[in-house]
Structures are given as structure tokens and as C-alpha cells.
Amino acid sequence: MNNLPLGFAYSATYAGIRNVEKDDLALIVTGMAASAAGVFTQNRVQAAPVRLSRRSLERSHGAASAILINAGNANCATRTGDAVALETAKQAARHLRMPATEVLVASTGVIGVELDPAKITSALPRLVEGLSPARFDDVSRAILTTDLRPKTASTQVKLRRGPVHVAGMTKGSGMIHPQMATTLGFVMTDARISAAPLRAILKRGVERSYNRLSVDGDTSTNDTLLLLANGASGIKPEGAELRKVEEAAAAVMEELAKAIARDGEGATKLITIEIDGAASDDAAVRIARAIANSPLVKTAVAGSDPNWGRIICAAGNAGVPFQPSKTDIYLQGVAVCERGLAAPFSEKELTGKLNAPECEIRVKFRGKGRGKARFWTCDFTEGYIRINASYRT
């Protein structure tokens, strides 16, 4: 991984939480206390680690030095959930010699099964011992569940006084329909940014990345996206330079969100939906979301079927007014619908283009509207069903 931010260390190990022997416990640590911001699931049912991390960020006023993550068990809807989250955070803090509120926690996996804290606490010594600045990729693999591929992104921003770095990792790959954040995502930077602007950067970044993503329309109980800025570069960007770093952080989040869509459960294609000319950005997002959540659109893309009727039908379900007679639709850049009617196109040729690993659906409303949105999802295949009809048992 290039462009790793300075001053962070990573570690992963197998703690026996998941059945297959594959790392399932991970740690991200920064030597110096970092500013931290988090966004969490909007689901009414929230996992214990979500509740604890939210509270810790409040109590610490946006400071954190470590993130303890487990896969294989969501630590949600269990008798002991809160106690397990708190106890494991405390034990990690003890090993790391930091206040417990500075250890954030995140979990992903099955809901409603008790998580044995001893599995985690007994693995902590070797987890802490294994910390290394070079093990970023190990953590990116340890946090996966049904994901096929690790998902990372990074970038460098050259500022007047030198470079700062941003790197992030995330996991998908079902129950993905972020309302505020999604799934698990961890983004680190060595820029020095205090907690309040960091929160603003995270919030705006999420709006154009994780909140524009759907795999299956289900919002998980555990969604957590954390952004840590430890200042290890020694550079505190301000003004235009801060906006450059914000743009870099948003670009990393966008890349992570796209990676989740591309690796959605059973997915064979990344779908990018572009809306133009809607009454407002909000209207554009709602239309994009309705298309992204339509199983009929997603199965048509799986079958490389240029079925624009399903696209305009899905748009019509967004609860947003628009005139079908002013609606144009493009698939892979080819006009398939003009003013709400079939456009002349070669079905054979377009079907060929739709066999590509990326599919672009563009809906353009003629008229004065300036509302825009970009949204990501994936196609819907028999693989999704196979995975989810048998995931738990």
C-alpha cells in the first residue's frame, strides 16, 4: 500500500470468533492521540460497539488513539453486548496504556449470537505485539465477511510544507444501504486537523460516497465509518490547503464506496448511476436511489438487457415529481430513451457493451433543473441468493 499516513500501526490475528481460521480481530493504533470523527448506522437497532464508540467520541470530544475491530460476530441484540464491547475496549486500552475512551470498537458478522469476550481479551497480547506500520493490508483482510476482495484506497496531497497522506479500508458486502455511514470503514490521515473540522470533513465526504451506495437496500445494525487524523506529518493544513485534504479524504471514501458496490454479494458488475437536471440535488439522489434499489433494474443489468422501461419505472417510484416526456436515458453512453420514448439503438451492439464489468446508467431530465447525483450499486445475480440463503446456517 502506497501513501500510508505516518504514525499509524496495524495488527490482525485469528481469535476464533469466526468458524473458518482466518484473521477476525484487528487493531489500528496511532502513537499520538488523534482527532477522530465517526458516523454510524441510522438503524433503530444499533449494535453495542456502535453505542460505545459513539459515546466514547462524545466523552473524549473527538479524540481517539485506537480502533479494535472484530469480524464474524456483530455483537448486536445479545444479552452481554454492551458489557463485551466495554470490557474488550478497556482491556485493549490497558495493553496500549491509553484511556479507555480512546479505544473505539467496531464489529461485523452475525446478529443475535453472544460474543465471548475471552476470545478477544486472550488474543489481545499477541494482537498488540504484532503491531506494525506495514500491516495495513492484514487489517483490511481481517475485517471482511462475505467480501471477496479487500477494499483499500489511499492518496497523497502535496501541501506547501510537504505531503500529507490519506488511506482507508472498508468492508461490504451485503446489508448495504447506508443512511449515514455504512458497514465498517476506517480512514486515516497524518494531517493535523482538530475534531470539529474533521467531523465536517467526514460528514460531507460520507454524503458523496457511502450515502450514495446500495447493494441490497438493507441498512445494517453495525455501520461505522471512522476518520482519524493524528498529525504525524507535522502539517496543519488550513484554508485552501485544508480543502485540498478534504477533497483527498472524500476521494478515498468514494473509492472505498465504489469498491463495496463492485464487490457486493454475488455482484458481477459495478453500476454507476448519474442523474442530471433534476429539480434539486436531493431529488436527484432520491431518483438515483430508487433505480439503485430496484431488483428489476439490477437483474436486467446482470442479464445485459438494455431494459430502459424498468429504469424509468423505478425512477417513477422515487416519490419525486418529474415529467416522463422530458426524460432521456443512456446506457453505456448510448441513448435508449428520449423524451420518455424508445430511442433507436442497436440492441445487439448495446447488449455487447453491457457485458462489460462496469455499467453506467445516466438519466437526464430536459429543462431548467440543476439537481445532480452520482450513485453506486451492483447487479443482482443468483450468487446473492445463494450466499444469503445459506450464510448463517
User: What amino acid positions are annotated as catalytic residues?
Assistant: 182
Residue 107 interacts with a second copy (CB under 8 A)?
Answer: no
Tell me which stretch binds a second copy (CB under 8 A): 22-30, 137-145, 154-162, 174-182.
174-182
Tell me which stretch binds a second copy (CB under 8 A): 134-142, 201-209, 256-264, 333-341.
333-341
SS3 180: coil
302 Cβ neighbours under 8 A, 6+ residues apart: 268, 269, 379, 380, 381
**Nearer CB in complex with a second copy: 70/189:** 70
Phi, psi angle pair for 386, to nearest 5°: -60, -45
Question: How many degrees, rounded to 5, is the angle at CA 175 between CA 69 and CA 106?
Answer: 15
Residue 294 interacts with a second copy (CB under 8 A)?
Answer: yes
**Nearer CB in complex with a second copy: 194/299:** 299
Round to whole Å and give the CA distance between 331 and 334: 5
- For a second copy, the binding residue among 141, 165, 177, 258 (CB under 8 A) is 177
Kindly state the smallest distance separating residue 87's Cβ from a second copy, in Å: 18
Name 165's bridge partners: 156
Residue of 29, 27, 25 whose CA lies nearest to 8: 29
Round to whole Å and give the CA distance between 76 and 156: 37
Residue 356 interacts with a second copy (CB under 8 A)?
Answer: no
Kindly state the smallest distance separating residue 59's Cβ from a second copy, in Å: 23
Residue 300 interacts with a second copy (CB under 8 A)?
Answer: yes
Q: Which pairs from 366-371 meet CB under 8 Å and 24+ separation? A: 366/277, 366/326, 366/327, 366/328, 366/339, 367/277, 367/323, 367/326, 369/277, 369/278, 369/279, 369/280, 369/283, 370/277, 371/275, 371/277, 371/278, 371/279, 371/280, 371/281, 371/282, 371/283, 371/284
Name 34's bridge partners: 64
Q: What is the grid cell recorded at 184? A: 465498517
Tell me which stretch binds a second copy (CB under 8 A): 161-169, 185-193, 275-283, 301-309.
301-309
344 Cβ neighbours under 8 A, 6+ residues apart: none
**Nearer CB in complex with a second copy: 8/384:** 384
Residue 263 interacts with a second copy (CB under 8 A)?
Answer: no
Tell me which stretch binds a second copy (CB under 8 A): 43-51, 53-61, 232-240, 247-255.
43-51
**Nearer CB in complex with a second copy: 9/359:** 359
Residue 117 interacts with a second copy (CB under 8 A)?
Answer: no
320 and 286 Cβ atoms separated by less than 8 Å: yes
- As a residue count, the chain comes to 393
In sign, the C-alpha dihedral spanning 243, 244, 247, 249 is: negative
**Nearer CB in complex with a second copy: 130/383:** 383
Determine how many CB atoms are found less than 10 A away from the CB of residue 251: 18
186 and 223 Cβ atoms separated by less than 8 Å: no
**Nearer CB in complex with a second copy: 154/211:** 211
Contact letters for a second copy, residues 313-332 (x by CB under 8 A): xxxxxx-xxx-x--------
Residues 68-97 that bind a second copy (CB under 8 A): 74, 76-79
Number of residues near a second copy (by CB under 8 A): 66
Residue 392 interacts with a second copy (CB under 8 A)?
Answer: yes
Residue 334 interacts with a second copy (CB under 8 A)?
Answer: no
Residue 296 interacts with a second copy (CB under 8 A)?
Answer: yes
Kindly state the smallest distance separating residue 370's Cβ from a second copy, in Å: 20
**Site of interaction with a second copy (CB under 8 A):** 43-46, 74, 76-79, 110-114, 174-175, 177, 179, 216-221, 293-296, 299-300, 302-303, 305, 307-310, 312-318, 320-322, 324, 337, 340-342, 347, 351, 380-382, 384-386, 388-393
